Structure 1
Amino acid sequence: MSALRSLLLLLLPLCPGPGSEAKVTRSCTETRQVLGARGYSLSLLPPALIAGEHLQTCPQEYTCCSSEIEQKLTWETETIFRGLVEESGSFLVHTLAARQRRFDEIFRQMLASAEQSLTVSFQRVYSHVLFSHHTPLFSGLFTRLRDYYERSGEGLDDALVDFWAQLLERVFPMLYPQFSFTPEYLFCVTRLASSSDGVLRPFGDSPRRLRIQLSRALVAARAFVQGLETGRDVVTETLKVPMSAGCKRAVMRLIGCPFCQGVPSLPPCRGFCLNVAQGCLSTQALDPDWGAYLDALQFLAEKIQGAFSFEVAAQTIGARISEGVAYLQENRMKVSSQVVQDCGSPQRGSTRTRRAPATWEEAGWPWKSGAQRVPEVHPTSSGGASLRQMVWELNERLSRLRGFWTKLPLAVCADARMAADISQDAMPCWTGAGRDEDASGSGEGQHFADDWMAGAAVVPAPARPPRPPRREGAGGKGGGVIIRHNQGRSRTGGGSGGFQAQPSLILFLSALALFAPR
């Protein structure tokens, strides 16, 4: 009997005491199964619970993770979080990229269509002979317009001045085929026509009207397309900003530590996830500038289909040129009088040489006042889809993009790997330190708003059903939404910032305000 009593006394220290029940009832079997299926080496996974003093992020209790496993889980959870952020923003990036490509293609097609329309109209109205002699002049104009839109964004005024000067050099001698005009004399004529005092206006008001119409349309189109492209690039870069060390630890504690605790099937509490996501995704601060950016795009969209219509401007180039030529014909006596006054009288030619320009009648130019001109056209873009319809579709899509940065944490936490489903509030969930039997109070990121390291600082559940954070953000009227992930009290330190708002979007908005025509 005494021997049995001695044996009991020896075994008594090995019996679990109060509070140690959870430590001995937890198992590493499920963790080994799940991580083994993911390709983790079973040799690195303890077959049973081990002391957790070596852990850097997860609670230093009995654990299923070695140091190597905790590190690998940290890398994996970072990849999961980053992937969810980029996936949530993929619709945004795709929308901006697709709209940018479509509008860019349509603007290019409009210029090509305008050039073709001018060719057909001039050949019909003025004769094929005249137009074929001056094809390089017109094709050169459209080449410079395309270069301005596609590449340089500079020299539009110079391109138009050069065009009208070259046109005058070609048509002025046709007014007086009996005279011989030297290059020096024609240079004097074009210099006089290009002077800022406006003494000679051989084409009337057509050059000014064409310059204003094309300048507004091309500047607005360039700003609009580049605005879509800039937005796409800024969003892409913002979604790929490296996570801070504090954010990595918080995400690991959110979705990685349940594996180390031996409860991989226990989902993180929704409030815990929102708290981490809002702290990591400081891009919420970008939302006001994002709204201003969308407003700027919609402002330009209205311009390119209204007063600064690229479609109308491109298709009326021929009409403006035709008006200018007709004005020169009708006012040739007044124009020639001013030319003679400033440049002197040209030399009279005895006979016309083979290289002398054809007369207007021979070339087919209308001679009498009120003769036929190239009409203005107001076509729709290719494929039957008008620019107005495209703008309407864009506005509808942009309206769906508002508030994106504020809603991003909700989108991330909607994934089953990140948080318990909102319909399962009454089910147990992972708090960052253990199991919570009731997750009903975790709808707004407040349930674990204080120090999740302590595990006991719990904000009482709200009396009404939870709702997503409002757009006012922290400090506003959104119900006191917390935007940190509580890593600030971590024993390993580190800031709470994760994804930072990109200043390039703000800079673009400032540039856009100057670039956009008004």
Structure 2
Amino acid sequence: MARRDIKPFGNVPKKAIGQMGRSLLPSRTFLQALNLGIEVINTTDHLHFSKDCSRALLRMQYCPHCQGLTLSKPCMGYCLNVIRGCLANMAEVDLHWRGYIQSMEELSSAMSGTYDIEHVLLNFHALVNEALLQARINGPELSQQVNKVCGPPVRKPTQSPGCSFDQNKDNQGLKIFSRDSEETLTSRRKEFISHLRLYRAFYGGLADQLCGNELAAADGLPCWNGEDVVRSYTHRVVGSGIKAQSANPEVKVKGTDPVISQIIDKLKHVIQRLGVMLFPP
């Protein structure tokens, strides 16, 4: 019999390792995905506009001032063409950003029970109690096994400082404090996901939000079309994304920004990893 065959705590250590492993992997994957989300936001926040975009923005915002039309706002269609052209690369992130948020939401929902590190740690004391109980039940058998492997114990008289125990303190035991549900990691994670869900369409609808909320004139009001103040914008209004910009009359878009391509590849990769976590092979 080898020392490794002596198992004073039964299979509890193996159970504890299994629970820790199952709970730590989803948490680590969630944090890695969260860091990528931060990278996506920071990268798109610092994108540089092309020269064509800068000229189109200048024409839309400031050319009316040269004619003394300081209070005129761009027509809605005109504004959408300019902003969608400028943000065409950013709109390419939309589909993958939506998939990223959905995958984060699904993983967060799956992180419960033994797949939730907080749940495992808060209930770890139960495994410790179980391990001690196993050692107590198997005490005589364990003593025999230890004697076979290590030989009978040799007791030598030693001088050690006296130990005193406070019986009252010993009887108090461990105090388990109740935790408010709002303070748990699970509730914080759910709150974060609920806020993140609100920005699922952020990249696809950013141009519409900018024009609709502050840049463009309200429907029915005279507006600037890039040349003069008119009743309505008569040119075709294009959609979002790179492909749609081939028909954009206001901004020329040459192709996908390499930085955006890298971000999209990273999003695809993390979505795949999150999918593996949810549906392991």
1:285 aligns with 2:83: no
Structure 1 regions of 5+ residues with no counterpart? Answer: 1-187, 194-198, 365-373, 442-446, 451-468, 489-493
Distance 1:508 1:330, change over 3 A: farther
C-alpha separation in 2, matches of 1:320 and 1:505: 43
**1:327 to partner: Cα distance:** 1.1
- TM-score w.r.t. the length of structure 2 is 0.76
C-alpha separation in 2, matches of 1:474 and 1:204: 60
Q: Which residue of 2 aligns with 1:397?
A: 195
Q: Which residue of 1 aligns with 2:57?
A: 251
1:254-290 CA-to-partner distances (Å, cap 9, x unmatched) read 2122223443333211111111111111211111111
Q: Summarize the alignment of residues 441-480 of structure 1 with structure 2, pairs less than 5 Å apart.
A: 447-449=235-237
Distance 1:513 1:352, change over 3 A: farther
Q: Which residue of 2 aligns with 1:503?
A: 262
1:52-99 CA-to-partner distances (Å, cap 9, x unmatched) read xxxxxxxxxxxxxxxxxxxxxxxxxxxxxxxxxxxxxxxxxxxxxxxx
**Number of residue pairs matched by the alignment:** 270
Is contact 1:312–1:378 with CA below 8 Å preserved after alignment?
no
Is contact 1:217–1:313 with CA below 8 Å preserved after alignment?
yes
Question: What is the Cα-based RMSD across aligned positions, in Å?
Answer: 4.0
1:420 aligns with 2:214: no
C-alpha separation in 2, matches of 1:207 and 1:419: 65
- Name the aligned partner's letter for residue 260 of structure 2: A
C-alpha separation in 2, matches of 1:512 and 1:405: 17
Q: Summarize the alignment of residues 225-374 of structure 1 with structure 2, pairs less than 5 Å apart.
A: 225-281=31-87, 282-341=89-148, 343-349=149-155, 351-354=156-159
C-alpha separation in 2, matches of 1:498 and 1:505: 11
C-alpha separation in 1, matches of 2:196 and 2:125: 35
Distance 1:345 1:499, change over 3 A: closer
Distance 1:204 1:508, change over 3 A: farther
C-alpha separation in 1, matches of 2:98 and 2:113: 23
1:409 aligns with 2:213: no
C-alpha separation in 2, matches of 1:449 and 1:214: 55
Find the residue that maps to 1:414 and give its secondary structure. helix
Q: Which residue of 1 aligns with 2:169?
A: none
Find the residue that maps to 1:487 and give its secondary structure. coil
1:438 aligns with one of 232, 239, 242: 232
RCO (CA 8 Å, sep 6+): is it higher in 1 or 2? 2
1:106-163 CA-to-partner distances (Å, cap 9, x unmatched) read xxxxxxxxxxxxxxxxxxxxxxxxxxxxxxxxxxxxxxxxxxxxxxxxxxxxxxxxxx
Distance 1:251 1:333, change over 3 A: same
- Name the aligned partner's letter for residue 286 of structure 1: V
Structure 2 regions of 5+ residues with no counterpart? Answer: 167-172
C-alpha separation in 1, matches of 2:36 and 2:79: 31
C-alpha separation in 2, matches of 1:289 and 1:240: 19
Q: Summarize the alignment of residues 6-405 of structure 1 with structure 2, pairs less than 5 Å apart.
A: 192-193=3-4, 199-281=5-87, 282-341=89-148, 343-349=149-155, 351-354=156-159, 380-381=179-180, 384-405=182-203
2:251 aligns with one of 477, 487, 492: 487
Distance 1:224 1:483, change over 3 A: farther
**1:231 to partner: Cα distance:** 1.4
State the identity %.
24
C-alpha separation in 1, matches of 2:14 and 2:96: 37
The structure with more radius of gyration: 1
C-alpha separation in 2, matches of 1:239 and 1:496: 19
Distance 1:234 1:309, change over 3 A: same
Is contact 1:221–1:310 with CA below 8 Å preserved after alignment?
yes
1:194-247 CA-to-partner distances (Å, cap 9, x unmatched) read xxxxx3322112112211222232333333344334313321221221111121
C-alpha separation in 2, matches of 1:399 and 1:428: 37
**1:405 to partner: Cα distance:** 0.8
Find the residue that maps to 1:427 and give its secondary structure. coil
Task: Name whichever of 249-258 and 224-233 sits farther off.
Answer: 224-233
- TM-score w.r.t. the length of structure 1 is 0.44
- Name the aligned partner's letter for residue 486 of structure 1: E
- Name the aligned partner's letter for residue 76 of structure 2: R
1:172-209 CA-to-partner distances (Å, cap 9, x unmatched) read xxxxxxxxxxxxxxxx97xx33xxxxx33221121122
C-alpha separation in 1, matches of 2:107 and 2:177: 20
Find the residue that maps to 1:501 and give its secondary structure. helix
Find the residue that maps to 1:401 and give its secondary structure. coil
C-alpha separation in 1, matches of 2:177 and 2:23: 14
C-alpha separation in 2, matches of 1:435 and 1:283: 30
C-alpha separation in 2, matches of 1:512 and 1:430: 43
Distance 1:381 1:387, change over 3 A: farther
- Name the aligned partner's letter for residue 402 of structure 1: R
C-alpha separation in 2, matches of 1:378 and 1:502: 50
